[in-house]
Amino acid sequence: MSGAPLTGEQLKAAIQGPSDVEWRRVYEMRRECQEILPNLFLGPFVASKSLETLQSLSISHIVCIRDAKEAFSVRPRFESHFKYLVLDVQDNDEQNLIRLFPEAKAFIDAAISQGGRVLVHCNGGISLSPAFVVMFVMQYHQLSWEDALHFVQNRRYCISPNGGFLTQIKEYEAIYRANLAVASYPSSQRAVSRRKREDDDDDDIRYLDEDRKRALVANDSEGLIDPYAMET
């Protein structure tokens, strides 16, 4: 993602946010989209309906996240102007967002790496689409789920993911940190560990074969029949 990385102090300030908030402005922001990260915007569906607004922001890609029941109204409006990713979900506590997030992240990453600017929206821009953006910010800045939530809230004050989405945001922290740990583990060490597991498996098979042969010898000496012997 383009843009100079934030310093530690800048990131801390971004998480803490301003000390005073004008609540009239908070209300007005509900109908607008805000830039959360360089070239990544979050907002409501109404912002995606204004071609003039989208072009003024140089938006090139749009992630439309909608409840399946809203498909007739919450839909791409300018497919000849922008590239869309549409995700049909259930806007309720039971919807699995973590399963859908990798597709959205790949779309955003590809768009921005090509010099594009992305708007992520749902119907109101309050719960559903913010949950995706919080997970994206969490991984982008390697933050805790709580710091990532505050980071996004300090740019779009009205967001409030529902309880189920908030639980998944918390769960995603463990997932992305585990992936980072695996990725940071030296590849040479992973290869050694894999070879060691394979060698251990080979040893186990060899020992089993030797145990079986010893058992057959003992059985023969007692005049017993080898159950593995082929009948002639």
Residues marked as catalytic: 122
Q: What is the 3-state secondary structure (H, E, C) of the chain?
A: CCCCCCCHHHHHHHHHCCCCCCHHHHHHHCCCCEEEECCEEEECHHHHCCHHHHHHCCCCEEEEEEEHHHCCCCCCCCCCCCEEEEEEECCCCCCCCCCCHHHHHHHHHHHHHCCCCEEEECCCCCCHHHHHHHHHHHHHHCCCHHHHHHHHHCCCCCCCCCHHHHHHHHHHHHHHHHHHHHHHCCHHHHHHHHHHHHHHHHHHHHHHHHHHHHHHHHHHHCCCCCCCCCCC
d(CA 188, CA 114): 32
- HSE toward the beta carbon, residue 75, CA cutoff 13 A: 6
Q: Please give the backbone phi and psi of residue 121, each rounded to the nearest 5 degrees, phi first.
A: -145, 155
